[in-house]
Amino acid sequence: MSGGTGAFDASPLLNRMARLSREELESLQLFKLRRLLTRLRVNSLYYRKRMDAANLTPESVKSVADFCARFPVSTKADFMADQAEHPPFGHRLSIPREQVALVNTTGGTSGQGQEIYGRSQRDVHTQGYYHALPWFMAGLRPGQIAINCVPAGGMTTGGWGPGEGLRIIGATAFHLGGGTLTTDGVIDMMARIRDIGFIYASTNFLHRLTQAMQKRGMSPREAFPNMKGLFIAAEGYPVEWARKIEETWGCILHEGYGSTQLAGFGASTPGSVAPDDGSRGLMRLFEWEHIVEAINPETGQSVKSGETGEMVVTNLSIEGSPVVRFRTGDAARFVDHREAGGGMAWNAIESGTIGRYDDMMKIRGNNVWPSSVDGCVFAHPEIVEYIGRVFTTPDGKTDVEVRIAFTDHPAPCAEAERKRIINTLKQAIKQRTNVNMGVVEVNRAELPEFTYKARRWKDERQQGYKL
């Protein structure tokens, strides 16, 4: 299921942006960038100091490449220090304090604290637009019923943006995320609604929802025959899993890349995440709204097309707390527009493989990404969930254990088949990571249930060295 959505013909904006040449797109970026820097030089002491330190003025920026070479990057630590010294928003805030209409924070999952962002009323609408844009690309249209499985409200951008985006499109939204309903409760509500055309969920929750439906003997594609699209974000997955999801639901699976720093989504797939040729789909970057770079985290230099780098983002339209060359810590495989195909000038990042540099584990001299093991495990539809741990044995050696649980529907796997899968999985993990890992079967009840972002790995090595 690799067909497109027809969104570019249906949207004058997308049609216009899709027809821009690379030169025209970068000219638009430069115009918006100079306008942003002019405003920040006057209204944000934080960014004025960074411009002065680089001997840079808005007028002196000759191109997007020139800006990326000269403007200093900011990190989470920089933002945390700024807001601690000048609470609550720091000197990054570039609108009058009384014009802050919404406060957003990051999730704090990195353990380094939460960045605080002040949004203007225009920013609130812009965040909605950044959510509506990829969903319209995925086929969502006015009047269609959309299920939002991501927690609504709270202080995160992901809690506020979806509701705004669904209203902008004109869809009929049911917000079922947030823990007020169990997974079975979500299924019960969906069965009452019936005429559902779109679902937005984390990768993990869509997996969990699908498994729960099948356990109840439901066929998603038969129960919801009017489903036009599924949209996921937040976690990696294997291509085999994506194809199975499309087959099970009878519609195309789309993915978007977003963050609080992007104020919503900054990239999305025009078509399926799993094209018919067996490759991974590409998320096209919304470059008329953001400048997105991919750099080598050690050298700071741009990576080549096809290489993995750290995402560095710059907002071009956010008023309240814009980010300028912010190092996200997100790792993505960058694909230049010339290699991405499709005739568009938008650069892209690979779907299904977004990771976090702070999630990477150094195991026996190897860089191991949790997403690499995810891909090996969930390539087997017989496995419903897993967790991993890295620990130190009593004799001081590093060991790794992967605990898996098999599904029991439509029927439990025979013992011989489970043993075969475990052996195959061990080999696949070794090939993908260069690390031998023990694989142990456990009951599903022994593993946690993840509602939004799954944190499947624990590094317990420090405990092994306590006296």
Report the candidate in 377, 376, 395, 394 with the shortest Cα–Cα distance to residue 386: 377
Domain final residue pick, 233, 248, 275: 275
Helix, strand, coil fractions of the chain, as percent rounded to 5: 40, 25, 40
Task: Note whether residue 282 is domain-resident.
Answer: no
368 and 260 belong to one structural domain: no
The fraction of the chain above a pLDDT of 70, given in percent, is 95
Tell me: cis bond preceding 270? Omega within 30 of 0 counts: no
In a domain, 46, yes or no: yes
Residue finishing a domain among 259, 275, 291: 275
Among residues 275, 302, 323, the one where a domain terminates is 275
> What is the C-alpha separation between 146 and 133, in angstroms, rounded?
15
Please list the alpha-helical segments (H only) found in 170-274: 183-193, 203-215, 220-223, 239-249
In-domain check, residue 337: no
Question: Is the same domain home to 215 and 78?
Answer: yes
Characterize the bridge pairing of strands 264-268 and 282-285: antiparallel
pLDDT digits (tens, 9 = 90+) for 117-137: 999 999 999 999 999 999 999
Q: Say if residue 225 is preceded by a cis peptide, omega within 30 of 0.
A: no
Q: Which of 49-63, 282-296, 348-362 has the lowest mean pLDDT?
A: 348-362
285: in domain: no
Cα atoms in the 13 Å half-sphere on the side-chain side of 183: 18
419's CB contacts (< 8 A; 6+ apart) are none
> How many Cα atoms occupy the beta-carbon half-sphere of 155 within 13 Å?
11
Q: What is the CA radius of gyration of the chain?
A: 23
- 5 pLDDT band (50/70/90 cuts)? very low
Domain span including residue 154: 1-275
Residue 222's pLDDT is what?
97
pLDDT band at residue 4 using 50, 70 and 90 as cut-offs:
very low
448 assigned to some structural domain:
yes
What value does the mean pLDDT take over residues 201-215?
89
Reported as a pLDDT band with limits 50, 70 and 90, residue 383 is very high
- β-bridge mates for residue 327, sequence order: 312
pLDDT at 365: 75
Q: How confident is the model at residue 463 (pLDDT cuts 50, 70, 90)?
A: low
C-alpha–C-alpha distance, residues 68 and 188, integer Å: 50
CATH code, domain with 62: 3.40.50.12780
pLDDT band at 467 (very low <50, low <70, confident <90, very high): very low
465 vs 230, more confident: 230
Task: Indicate if 379 and 230 belong to the same structural domain.
Answer: no
State pLDDT tens for residues 10-22.
Answer: 889 999 999 999 9
Domain contains 327:
no
Q: What pLDDT score does 216 carry?
A: 93
* Backbone torsions φ then ψ of 40, nearest 5 degrees: -70, -30
Are 256 and 159 part of one and the same domain? yes
263 in a structural domain: yes
User: Is residue 64 located within the same domain as residue 200?
Assistant: yes
Q: How far is 460 from 423, CA to CA, in rounded Å? A: 25
Same domain, 382 and 269: no
332 three-state secondary structure: strand
Instruction: For residues 365 and 255, state if they share a domain.
Output: no
- Domain tally, the chain: 2
Q: What is the DSSP letter of 99?
A: G
Task: Inform me whether the pLDDT recorded for 3 exceeds 50.
Answer: no
DSSP conformation letters of 410-442? SSPPPHHHHHHHHHHHHHHHHHHHS---EEEE-
pLDDT tens digit sequence for 214-255: 989 999 999 999 999 999 996 778 888 899 999 999 999 999
How would residue 161 be classed by pLDDT, with cut points 50, 70 and 90? very high
Output the domain CATH number for residue 369: 3.30.300.30
Query: Both 11 and 132 in a single domain?
Result: yes
Joined tokens for residue 138: 């995925």
pLDDT winner (highest mean) among 41-55, 387-401, 448-462: 41-55
Looking at the structure, tell me whether residues 251 and 393 fall in a common domain: no
CB-side neighbour CA atoms (13 Å) of 16: 5
The token pair that represents 135 in the structure block: 């969903």
3 state SS of 215:
helix
**Shared domain check, 386 and 263:** no
Q: State whether 375 and 270 are in the same domain.
A: no
Confirm whether 311 is domain-assigned. no
Please give the mean pLDDT across all residues of the chain.
91
Q: What is the greatest pairwise CA distance in the chain?
A: 70
- Residue 54: left if φ>0, alpha if ψ -120 to 50, beta else—which one? alpha
Query: Are 261 and 379 contained in the same domain?
Result: no
